Structure 1
Amino acid sequence: MIEDKVNNSYRISYLISQFLNGNIEDDELKELQRWENLSSNNKKLVEELKDSECLEDRDHRIDRINLESEWLRFSNKVKYKRITLQKRVIRMAQYAAILLLPLSIVYLVFHMGTVKKSPASCAPCEITPGKHCAQLVLSNGKVLQLGSCKGSIKEQDGTIITTDSAIVFYKRNEDEKVEGLIYNEIRVVQGQEYHMRLADGTQVWINSMSSIKFPVHFSEGKREVEITGEVYFEVMPNKEKPFIVHTPIHDVRVLGTSFNISCYENDASVTTTLVEGKVLIENIPGELSPAQLTPNLQYNYHKSLHKASIEEVDAIAYAAWTKGYFQFENETLEQIFKKLERWYKIDVLYKSTSSRKEVFNGRLPRFENASTIMEMIEEVSNVKISLKDNLVVIE
């Protein structure tokens, strides 16, 4: 899909920029090297970018590009919601169009700094985005730091746990039999996210300030996990063994599907958004029968009202965080900054009550520094944002 190509181009441009600036992490360097090895053209591009003369020539050629016409070409080609916030900032949309040009894969990350600086970008200490990290709590209570350690661990029942910089996955040893289930837990704190694969092959993405408790291998009859915060699932199909997610409010039962659950304690509602397949919402407080969801439906349980509602949404938007983006669908500035607080480890102070309620639609890159995100929001809103240390002041 064209959208996937845009996402991939943005990611690669970010990695190249980090490499050339000397800020690349070990796992990011490996990811970039894997991309280089995919083709000779990829290797050639990276080599050219290491050459200052070649880079200067490339920069002059980029400056001659007619951004307006390229954006029109991009708009006609992509049948997808424009990558803008609600007030249609054409400059940001032009950046998205540039990503499709073979000439300038790294244009966005190199030229982001040419934007006129606002107070938000003048903070003396830059706030960087979150990382792929987590804590793994084993059945014996031992805690491992994921993202920094690599290797394999054997649990008490013989299950092999393999850890890497970006993922942990489980594989059961069928030769060893242990009665009962053995549980592990993954905890993701503020400013982190993590990806894992359960023993049945189910893929799980855990967002900031979230957790998942799960058996290292599942029983014969069903697969059950417990979560807090926000978690995205791609469940391995198994008609004989339904997959059940327990949240603090209700349960979600599936056979094989992709969906996002957000159940943060300090949010007003618990939401389940279905991307593919079919799910049942069960054990709902005050409800006798379960609610069924089909793709692009979202189930909202409003905690203070003790009432539920189902509405049609763009489900992909609610999984965008697993692809490296924040995507907002009719969300207030206050709702948006709740997500930014969790990811950037910031505190937010509102000097204007009205600013909290300003509504946005659109997409922002998840792996940009906080000051860049604040600049983008400032340019399409009526608010002024200042950023100092870890405090964001909005007026």
Structure 2
Amino acid sequence: MQRVSQLILKKMSGRLTPAEEAELQAWLNDSEANRRLYGRLTDPAVLKDTFDLWRMVDSSRPCRDMQNQVNRMLWSSRIRRWSVAAAVVLAVLVAGSIIVGRMDMRVSDSPIASRTEIPQSVEDIKHGVTRAVLSDEAGHNVVLNATDTAKVTTILLAGHETDSIGHELCLDVPRGGEFKVQLEDGTEVWLNSASRLYYPNAFGNDMRHIRVEGEAYLAVATDSLRPFYVETDNQMIRVYGTSFNVRCYPEDREIYTTLEKGKVSIRRADEVGGELFLTPGHQAVFASTDSKVSVREVNTDVITSWRNGRFVFENQTLLRIMQDLSRWYDFEYEFADSSLENEEFMGSIPRYSDFTTAISILEKCGGIRFSVDDGKVRITRTDN
């Protein structure tokens, strides 16, 4: 196993001797599974995606967590043995770090579910992982994970594919998940936990239109001939080649559009009323109840911190913090005292840290305590 990883590394770096070339070729000739694995591991797109993912994660994430994910790369036991070895190659390519690279793209008949284990203590609660379900209008589903983040929309769905323009797909990211997808036009979309993206497998010639539920960060490819629209609830965003964050969880009751760079305009989806243009560093807050919009200046690094591996809170209420943490760590919670919901906090939590680390930061700052009672995280004051 270790020998094969060394041979692949030498092959990729151009240092393979004739004898080693023959040894590697013999391994490739041994089975079709070996050849498929070799092709996947030396695919530049896969390597770039894996490196991009590695750069996004917190470098302090425990190595054992990463290795556990590597060990689950493929469902075939034989391929798994070689995949772990090949993971060493990827690790060397990113300066010796262990890469999150599970390669078990699994076909499924039903969407992925949230984790169902009922926690008995805070130690049982784990952070989220890269996962999603891609489905089409015919009801075909495919489960995606970390190695599929750079896949374009032509990805196979249980062996079914379509070349027709406008065939709608749905990318469903559950609680305890996150995902990045590259659309057909080169636009990149990062989806946060409990979010959905509806989009066509190929855009038409006149416009590009997608729909978002939950939270997404978008880096939209510029195309002057095809305007890009993002629909969220009753809000329509027109994009003029830009990067921005949109958040529209049902419990928020408001839609938050935060412009990092470029230009976007916002209007009601039913086209009633005019357009509001945003400039970088500003956030539009669209009220779902009456469609009123307010604009404020914000620190975009705070708003988009989830995409870069951190939770950053600036005078956030504990209720909002718990909503975000519960989606990522996938747990239910309750406040022993409802007045705690409005307590405000300021700080930063590594997104990939253990839940015990995350809550210890809040406990030290706010005079509160976390415990698990009947499967729910219970938040109380320390003097209770």
Give the AA of the match of 2:63: I
Aligned partner of 2:297 among 305, 312, 316: 312
For 2:327 and 2:284, the matched residues in 1 are separated by: 23
Give the AA of the match of 1:140: A
Determine the structure 2 residue equivalent to 1:375: 360
Determine the structure 1 residue equivalent to 2:139: 141
Change (3 A) 1:178 1:197: closer
How far has the Cα of 1:387 moved from its partner? 3.0
For 1:317 and 1:250, the matched residues in 2 are separated by: 23
For 1:365 and 1:342, the matched residues in 2 are separated by: 15
Change (3 A) 1:343 1:289: same
For 1:139 and 1:272, the matched residues in 2 are separated by: 28
For 2:122 and 2:335, the matched residues in 1 are separated by: 21
CA contact (8 A) 1:167 1:194 kept: no
Deviation sequence 1:100-147 (CA, Å, 0-9, x none)? xxxxxxxxxxxxxxxxxxxxx993752111111111002422011111
For 2:365 and 2:91, the matched residues in 1 are separated by: 34
Determine the structure 2 residue equivalent to 1:36: 92
The alignment of Structure 1 onto Structure 2 pairs a total of residues equal to: 291
Aligned partner of 1:338 among 295, 298, 323: 323
For 1:188 and 1:317, the matched residues in 2 are separated by: 22
Determine the structure 2 residue equivalent to 1:249: 234
Sequence identity, in percent? Answer: 28
For 2:135 and 2:148, the matched residues in 1 are separated by: 17
How far has the Cα of 1:287 moved from its partner? 5.9
Give the AA of the match of 2:61: Y
Q: Secondary structure at the match of 2:193?
A: coil
CA contact (8 A) 1:205 1:233 kept: yes
Deviation sequence 1:299-319 (CA, Å, 0-9, x none)? 001234542210000112111
Give the AA of the match of 2:93: N
Change (3 A) 1:32 1:207: farther
TM-score, normalised relative to structure 2 = 0.68
Q: Secondary structure at the match of 1:384?
A: strand
How far has the Cα of 1:274 moved from its partner? 0.5
Aligned partner of 2:343 among 358, 361, 373: 358
Q: Secondary structure at the match of 1:240?
A: coil
List runs of 5+ in structure 1 lacking aligned partners: 1-6, 47-120, 149-163
For 2:271 and 2:226, the matched residues in 1 are separated by: 27
TM-score, normalised relative to structure 1 = 0.66
How far has the Cα of 1:10 moved from its partner? 7.0
How far has the Cα of 1:237 moved from its partner? 0.8
1:11 aligns with 2:9: no
For 2:332 and 2:164, the matched residues in 1 are separated by: 47
Give the AA of the match of 1:189: P
Change (3 A) 1:289 1:123: same
Give the AA of the match of 1:141: G
Change (3 A) 1:244 1:350: same
CA contact (8 A) 1:125 1:388 kept: no
For 1:234 and 1:247, the matched residues in 2 are separated by: 17
Change (3 A) 1:127 1:23: same
| Root mean square deviation of aligned Cα | 3.0
Determine the structure 2 residue equivalent to 1:258: 243
Give the AA of the match of 2:90: R
Determine the structure 2 residue equivalent to 1:170: 153
Deviation sequence 1:228-265 (CA, Å, 0-9, x none)? 11111000011111110011121000121001111111
Determine the structure 1 residue equivalent to 2:107: none
For 2:358 and 2:307, the matched residues in 1 are separated by: 18
For 1:122 and 1:142, the matched residues in 2 are separated by: 36
For 1:259 and 1:126, the matched residues in 2 are separated by: 34
How far has the Cα of 1:168 moved from its partner? 2.8
Deviation sequence 1:63-98 (CA, Å, 0-9, x none)? xxxxxxxxxxxxxxxxxxxxxxxxxxxxxxxxxxxx
For 2:132 and 2:56, the matched residues in 1 are separated by: 27
